[in-house]
Amino acid sequence: MKKKKLLISESPTLVFSDEKIKINKIGNEWFFEVGKEITSDLGEAVSLMMRICDPKSDVWNLNINPDMENITPEKSLFWLTGGLNEWRNLENYNRPWCDCYLEFQEEFGLMIVGIIRKSKKLIDVRDGFNKYLNLPILYDFAVSKNILR
């Protein structure tokens, strides 16, 4: 109920906007429109932006003060492991996301939270994901759990 009052009583502040991304802030809560996806989860937003944003875009220099309540690691992991096309078509994985996301979350969930907690800018989250949650690391894990073809 508090969030509904907040949405009604405060108008959003536009933080960033370009042809692919729109970021609004209401109070301390961030709302990201990345392509066709909308989320308030900072980790998921960065995972989505990594797929479509130029690494030199100004968006990466935005200062953040992450609201850890909205962080759901499996959302970030979904996009970092391939996203909609990969999990829909199962070209590389042998099980659907709903059958294996808990294994990914158990292994990498706390790492995602830690990366976001330590970050001061969006680029810090992006660089942490690139360093510790890149595709070879995620694929090695998937191979060890017999999730990858």
3-state secondary structure of 43: helix
Sign of the four-CA dihedral 86, 50, 44, 111: positive
Give the global pTM.
0.91
Contact (CB, 8 A) for 119 and 60? no
Structure tokens at 131: 């360093």
**pLDDT over 60 (residue 67):** yes
The Cα 4–Cα 35 span in angstroms is: 25
What would the pLDDT profile of 28-56 be if each residue is shown by its tens digit?
A: 889 999 999 999 999 999 999 999 999 99
Contact 16, 61 (CB under 8 A): no
Average pLDDT for the chain: 92
d(CA 101, CA 81): 10
Check residues 119 and 2 and name the one with the higher pLDDT.
Answer: 119
The whole-number pLDDT of residue 149 equals: 86
